[in-house]
Chains A and B, each alone.
Chain A
């Protein structure tokens, strides 16, 4: 065993974690360096080496693998900074990517924008229309060739596209997932004319029925593929020059890694890697702490992300939305449900108080930053309420000004409502907590679970001030705030401790009872593809585990539910059991009695998720034990803090996290000051510090409105 490094390149900071061969960890944080993000990566490795007190070359030489998550591809897509590419689809259907099934007008928009129809528009188009072309060919739903590919015409189309100077072409034909022969031949025809052109086929990137999502997924993958390849080739080259011995891996949206050399070909699977790193890290920690059901909340300065872990497994989604376009590749479900500490409080024209979704962003940031922001934010309210120290954030590195926060709240909220600044700040705090609770409840219930059976994990700088309150709001009894060395680089920790994950899928719509031979054949093919791809990763795997899944739906109903198929031979009996499992899952998700088997049951997409286990075993450094539960020794000060609008300011103990020890119990109301965050333990609750420095808050919530099982049948 050697070292394992996880590096998470975010928009602002690059975080890194190194696991020693014994599983203990060091972490590092450095500013990201756009546009050349690899600078920041190398700086982070320098810092890790310094922490480990060894030369960089030695660290890299003793590193088994580096798992790397990057937000740069996603940023490029979101900012529209992608090169022009060509697009070829079936004759008669080019406009699919412009019609966008109509839903492109509102897809992925936040709730408040859905009602504002006059504010909606479609994006101008994924591909310039002159570069979006058609090939004369047609395949039908059975995979039969109705019209053979007209190669002469196709060569001309390709010639014209390449003449426009593009270096990459996305090819996505109707029914190609049933029969990819025309897509494959078109790739050959492209390479006849330009052997270096980057070509992505929809039958390889996203072999699922529904051509619009397949087109958009393939096009976006083509737009970021060449850039990702350049970046990774360059980074890997520099790391090798510095002595890297092991593999360079890239994190994917589905929560596992893939070899850098393989990443560009399916670039679209890597765009959510940074978002999911936190969920994977959470799952690792939850396993250690013995929590099966976790709501992972990551609240930063500008975003509030939530993921769910149920029965020890992160909840997955089949689709995400980027720029109002569907991306049909498997992913961990991560919902952006708010705008974090920078969420702006405002009054509508009716004088009603709202918090978010507009954010003060990183610049100018909250009013108290003194960087020109004049809108009151959550952070400003927390400062007024005494939750945040007036001495500044990040241990005083970022000075803040209470007078500016007070002025913003007074002008925008307090004066118009005829309240004091303190009352207004308390109202902002309460509204933020309740709304966060509503949105968390929504995603947990939508995933088919009862929030009362969950533990909330709160990380990120702006979450711990609110987590006990929003958790109590949805009936969660236990809140975990990971503190200590790993907290600040949580996502990087997730990367360092993740496995290789390769997913292959294939749509083959069929009606129950499913034909075992056809199902067997589908899975055999997918298994072959996964195993071959595992070999190409160039990394020694301890073990490979395959999970078989079928997306199933009721004939007349819309929702497909991913259902596992047991290992072993595919038989009529195992498929029946799979259908039974589907019916149970459907009922749990959408309510008892909501499914309708009378209309038939259809299998749509077959999938294998392959895990190449890397078996890293992170060990958390133990915290010294306290002699008694009484934390007075860590008391920093007592200051007036207002946590409940009705109670006003109460003299509240503030503890220094660094002085807390395992076994200390913090009784609310209390604030725990950490350089990176402030944790609130509200009145009537208490929190315990465990042996690795994690804080667990008992909320005493007695919210009872949720039935364990949803029932819609009356």
Chain B
């Protein structure tokens, strides 16, 4: 850490202590507990609904005024209403990661701006310093304002969105080399972009001057100012109508209410500890290593602890700040645990603690490069939290509907920049390929994952039509489809991912391509309960594909195999050229499967074949389903094949020791699709729900078999040799019941990696 940089690091604080620390010139409006208790249900509901409509209008304003497709199409933005201490009362439903960082920026501002230059009516602050808060990387720029009533600080509103470029050494402010923060966009701690209701043109100029797209950045700034202005006008109207004390009491009660409801829910699931480990292959261009994030989630009573001890040191451009870590947690925590509770986020956040060792991927210190924080470590944290929460919720049948295998584990970023020769005067163009938002969702115990469901962290995200891409850029979209075999195999199949292929059209010049992603050698989108991961990311630039000649012959290719040239997978971090006739192909990750694919209803496999979502080879080799000459499921042959496949696993498995004995599968408490706990206390045993084989004793360790091999054993979800990306040994590892051969856990990870299954360590 650079000495002096610690002044720009925000840590969550007790809101009451924060308010007490403020200078006396900053008068603060608050209400007593009595006022909160005295609220009648009618007033509470009426005002709560009004506050919802205020945030709703802020979001609409931001979206309509923004000039960036990142906001208008990809919905990478959000907005909040906060109380006087900056606590999140009401948040938007767009990029849920941003929610975890916004309150930190307000905390820092109250701590560092109250005396000089002061926090006053008519101010608006701008901030893009991820150590301070407000966003996950510098591209996330937040604008927030204090709201005063009768001279007292009543609350705050904020609006944040991703800016396409804020300077630095690379387009998009996203250098991919082994750099530090000084190659990225300059982090800007909170500065007053508005004073006394007047936009400060000097600050605006300093702000837009750094960008390669100053017009868009200026427009987005106005959009965020506009959203805050609408928020202030509307909030003041609510205060006028109902009185400040009532409105504030409602704000406090909203957070308390959310907190109590979540605590109540947590109390009703068993205590325990669940762990998950994720790997990012490559942290920068030229890197050949994997970088792991380790999460141990402990649930005690009505509290959760997210402990990231054991996580690798910060590296390359993929690390995140503490704000990013909280953001990553929120992306899974909100939808999986709080879908039925209003997102008064600060109330919800009171229910968990975080241990995030400094200097690691999950809490990087200045001057680490962090431009890929939201897509890298932040996103990975979300997927790990989702895995742990899902395993916890599986323990209670009432919450099984919220169990979900991992969704697509990152965003495959590609920026294509070149010259558009279609207008009379050629113009430059820059296209961030958005189709890779369309990843698969994870499978659930009761249903398949959503095909091309999108990115779990941006619930309201979308991808553009091919016609819009072709209208805006000199590109021809050759195909855009749900890729076959991309959904993780399982009793319930993971959602398929989108594949897109495009070629230059309307330019004679080569375009420049920058790509960054991860999850090409290891699976960031694992299944649950033995389900397979979704496909690994697979991006290809085919140079010399000669597509222009094919089109001229009346042939439209639909597969990389039909193209001339070399179709090598690009590295996670890469730069390349795309010339006329070349093809850029991108296939983001599918969703993980749930349960052993050998347990999938063969008729559902047949339906997937009919729909073209899986291949005949996958049906046979992964699902063990055979068809007769008419294409109907051959049930006896399928049964035989599945029995043979289980036996083959048993023949191949290695195991330390097998526990003698059986459990009665019909009794006890199910743990997941495969495991059951029978008896309690010292006499508790874990067994297989399918065959009754005892798998674990009171020591809590599972005695199960392991089948290991090349990652290609996972089938068509793996399309490249992991050695193409990293030096470590990456393999397919499947843990099975030594009694019946049912898959309990399936992963593609470093061979020496530690595994746990539904909260149980392995013997």
Contact = CB atoms under 8 A, between A and B. Distances in A.
Interface string A82-121: 0000000001111110111111011000010011111111
A93 B466 contact: yes
B736 interface: no
Interface of A: 91-96, 98-103, 105-106, 111, 114-122, 129-130, 136, 138, 140-142, 146-148, 150, 174-175, 209-213, 348-354, 417, 426-427, 430-431, 434-435, 438-439, 441-442, 445-446, 509, 554-559, 589-591, 593-594, 596, 598-599, 645, 703, 705-707, 710-714
List 3 tightest A-B contacts by C-beta distance, closest first: A712-B226, A705-B237, A556-B67
Contact of A118 (B52, B401, B468): B401
Contacts of B453: 102, 105, 122
18 contacts: A91-B558, A92-B480, A92-B481, A92-B501, A95-B480, A99-B452, A114-B459, A114-B460, A129-B611, A141-B467, A141-B471, A150-B554, A209-B465, A417-B41, A557-B64, A557-B66, A596-B67, A705-B234
Contact of B65 (A99, A212, A349, A590): A590
Contact of A438 (B53, B261, B437, B505): B53
B197 interface: yes
Contacts of B241: 703, 705
A103 B467 contact: no
A484 B508 CA distance: 72
Contacts of B233: 707
B147 to A, nearest CB: 14
B615 interface: no
Given A101-B465, A117-B459, A147-B556, 8 more contacts: A93-B481, A95-B480, A99-B438, A141-B471, A210-B468, A558-B66, A590-B64, A594-B65
B199 interface: yes
A211 B467 contact: yes
Contacts of B64: 557-559, 589-590, 594
A509 B471 contact: yes
A612 to B, nearest CB: 33
A104 to B, nearest CB: 9
B551 to A, nearest CB: 5
Contacts of A431: 42, 45-46
Contact of B556 (A96, A138, A426, A435): A138
A102 B461 contact: yes
B335 interface: yes
B401 to A, nearest CB: 7
Contact of A115 (B234, B343, B468): B343
B225 A713 contact: yes
Contacts of A559: 64
Interface in B261-317: 261, 264
A101 B555 CA distance: 26
A438 to B, nearest CB: 5
Interface in B612-665: 612
B482 A99 contact: yes
B470 A121 contact: no
Contacts of A596: 65, 67, 215, 219, 222
Contacts of A703: 241
Contacts of B402: 118
B42 A645 contact: yes
A707 B237 CA distance: 11
A452 to B, nearest CB: 12
Interface stretch (B1-9, B17-25, B55-63): B55-63
Interface residues of B, number: 99
B478 interface: yes
A712 B230 contact: yes
Contacts of B219: 556, 596, 598-599
Contacts of A348: 261, 340
Contact of A349 (B93, B199, B261): B261
Contacts of B93: 114-115
Nearest to A439: B53
Contact of A714 (B41, B194, B465, B555): B194
A714 B222 CA distance: 9
A118 B404 contact: yes
B450 A441 contact: no
Interface in B680-697: none
A198 B761 CA distance: 62
Given A93-B479, A210-B465, A210-B467, A118 B339 contact: yes
A713 B466 contact: no
B257 interface: yes
B261 A350 contact: yes
B749 interface: no
B450 A122 contact: yes
A358 B236 CA distance: 32
Nearest to A424: B41
Nearest to A645: B42
A354 B437 CA distance: 35
B451 interface: yes
A129 B460 contact: no
Contacts of B114: none
A706 B60 CA distance: 17
A689 to B, nearest CB: 32
A105 B450 contact: yes
B470 A140 contact: yes
Given A442-B57, A594-B64, A118 B498 contact: no
A590 B61 CA distance: 7
B151 interface: no
